Each structure stands twice: as C-alpha cells, then as structure tokens.
Amino acid sequence: MSDPSGIITPDEAKEQKPTINLKVKINKDGSEVFFRIKPTTKLNKLIDALCTKRSLDRNSLVFIFDGDHINGKKTAAEHHMEDGDEIDVFLLTDGGSLTFKSY
C-alpha cells in the first residue's frame, strides 16, 4: 500500500497498470512483431503502429484473434487477450471467382 505522502512503490505501479505482451504474426511473409500494451489500450493503436512500422496499408489487412476479426475500437481486455497471445494478420484478397462451362 502507498504511504500517506501518496508515493506509489514500483510494485504497486505494476499492479495498477499491468501490461501484456502480444505477438503479431504477419502471414504474408511469416514475420513476427512483438508489442507490449496495457489491457485498456484500444487495438487501433497497435494496428496503426504495426502498419507504420512495416509500411503496410491498413485497408488491405485483416486482423484475427482466436478465429474472430479484431475490432480496433475495442481494447485488448474486451477481446479477452492475455499475456503471450498471438494476433494473425492476413492480406485481403479480391476476386477468385470460378467460371464453369457447360458442355
């Protein structure tokens, strides 16, 4: 507990503002980027940092955690992320339609 002067010990600071380490795996090239964020951080901040760091177009990517799309407006805690979790990043693809010929 902090003393009456209001000074918080380092151990108390860690308890008040925990951080989690997340691994972001870019499936396009297999590279991995590690982030340390607070559980209360909105994931848009992480996504923007990744796109800036790797010169990626955010609109051409899909971010997946536990099989679900990530909502950047939500926090890591709202997505139930824990220390050591992994976020997968996939490149969006358009097209891919098939045409069939009838004989």
Domain segments of the chain as ranges: 20-91
pLDDT at 58: 92
Which H or E run contains 33?
strand 31-37
For the chain, residues with pLDDT lower than 50 are 1-3
pLDDT at 92: 85
Query: d(Cα 36, Cα 62) in Å, to the nearest integer?
Result: 20
Second CATH level (architecture) for the domain 20-91? Roll (3.10)
pLDDT at 57: 92
pLDDT at 93: 78
Chain centroid offset of residue 100 CA: 40
Query: d(Cα 86, Cα 22) in Å, to the nearest integer?
Result: 6
17: closest CA among 65, 77, 78?
A: 77
Query: d(Cα 68, Cα 4) in Å, to the nearest integer?
Result: 46
pLDDT at 2: 43
